[in-house]
Amino acid sequence: MADILCGYTADRDETLIAFLYGDIEPAQRAAFEAHIATCDRCRHEVAELQDVRERLQEWTLDEEEAPEAARPLVAIGSLAGSSRVPAPSVESHEPPRRRRSTLLADLPLWAQLAAATLVLGVSSGIAGLEVHYDGSGLTVRTGWSRPASPPIPPAASPAGSAVAATNPDAASPWKADFDALERRMKTELRAELHASSSAASAVPARTEGSTVADAALLRKVRALVDESERRQRNELALRIAEIVQEFDTKRGTDLANVRSMKTIQSATGVEIVRQQQWLDLLTKASMQR
C-alpha cells in the first residue's frame, strides 16, 4: 500500500494521527474525511493504525501490582512529619536503591525501632522462634530444636475454639512470649529512665531520656537477635558433628562388610582349587585303569 501515491497536501502524518485520536479541528476533520474517501493508502493506514491502537489496549498491568508500588509512601507525610527535608533539584538524583536507605535513615529512631521489632516479630513467627525471659534468664529457641508438637485437632472443644477465636495469642504461642518480653523490657526501661532522669534532674531530659530508652531498647533487641543467631550457629555445628559421626559409623560398618566378603571370596577360592585337585586325581586314576 505504501507505494500508492497520496495527494494530500497538508501535513499528512500529523493530520492522520489527529484524525486517528479524534483530536482535530472540525474543518480539518471534514477535509481529511473527504480525502480518505478517495485515497486507498490513507484509508488503509488509518485502519491499520487503529488496529495497532486496539492491540495496545491488550497490554494491561495486573491491578494488584500497582498498590504495592508506592504503598510504603502512603504514610510518607505522617512519617516525615514536620521535619521536611530541603527540596533537592528534581533533575538530579541518586540511584533509587541508595535513596531507599536514605529514606530509612531519615526516619526517627522510634520508627526504625518499630520497624526492627516488627521484622523481628514476623521473622521469629516464621522461624518458630521461641523467646523466654524469666527468673532463670533469657532463653531463645528455634523451631528446629523444638520437638514436633502434635497438630491441634480440627474438632477442638467449643471452649477451646472460643478461646482460640477470641484470643489470637492462643494460636501463636510465640506472640505471648514476645509480648511478655516486650512488657518486661518496657518495665525495665522505664525504671532505667526514671533512675537516669532522677540522677540528672538538672537536665531537661524528655528528649534525651527517650533517646536513651530507645538506644537501650535497640541494644536489647540486637542482643536478642545476636543470641538467636548464636544459638542457631551452635545447633548447626552440633548437627554437622552428628552427621560426621553417623558417616564414620556407617563407613566402619561398610568396611567390616567388605572384609567379610573378601574372607568369603578367599574361602570359595580355596574350595574351588581343592575340587579341581580332586577332579584331576580322579581323571588320572581313570586313565591308569
Partner 1 sequence: MTWTDEELVARAIGGDSDSFDELVRRWERAIYALAYRQIGREEDARDVCQETFLHAYRALGGFRGQAKFSSWLYRIALNLCRDWMRRQRRTPVIQMPEDLEGMERAALREPVESIEDRIARADLARHVERAMALLPEEQRTAIVLKEYQGLTFQEIADLVGCPLSTVKTRLYQGLTVLRRQLAREGASAAAR
The residue ranges that bind partner 1 (CB under 8 A) are: 11, 13-14, 16-18, 20-21, 23, 48-49, 51-53, 55-62, 65-78, 80-82, 84-88, 90-91, 93, 95-97, 99-100, 103
Cα 141 from chain centroid (whole Å): 22
* Minimum distance from residue 49 beta carbon to partner 1 (Å): 5
* Minimum distance from residue 266 beta carbon to partner 1 (Å): 57
Grid coordinates of 2? 505504501
Q: Is 244 exposed, middle or buried (0-12, 13-18, 19+ CB in 10 A)?
A: exposed
- Distance, in Å, from the CA atom of 140 to the CA atom of 130, rounded to the nearest integer, reads 6
**Amino acid symbol at 73:** L
What sign has the CA pseudo-torsion 90, 91, 96, 100? negative
Q: Which is nearer to partner 1, 73 or 165 (CB)?
A: 73
φ and ψ of 211, to 5 deg:
-65, -45
Q: Which is nearer to partner 1, 81 or 204 (CB)?
A: 81
* Minimum distance from residue 95 beta carbon to partner 1 (Å): 7
Vertex 121: Cα angle to 73 and 152 (nearest 5): 125
* Minimum distance from residue 100 beta carbon to partner 1 (Å): 7
Q: Which is nearer to partner 1, 59 or 155 (CB)?
A: 59
* Minimum distance from residue 33 beta carbon to partner 1 (Å): 18
Q: Which is nearer to partner 1, 3 or 13 (CB)?
A: 13
Strands (E), the chain: 130-134, 137-141
User: Partners of 139 in the beta sheet?
Assistant: 132
* Minimum distance from residue 3 beta carbon to partner 1 (Å): 15
Q: Which is nearer to partner 1, 82 or 149 (CB)?
A: 82
Q: Which is nearer to partner 1, 88 or 135 (CB)?
A: 88
* Helices vs. strands in the chain: H and E counts, helices first: 11, 2
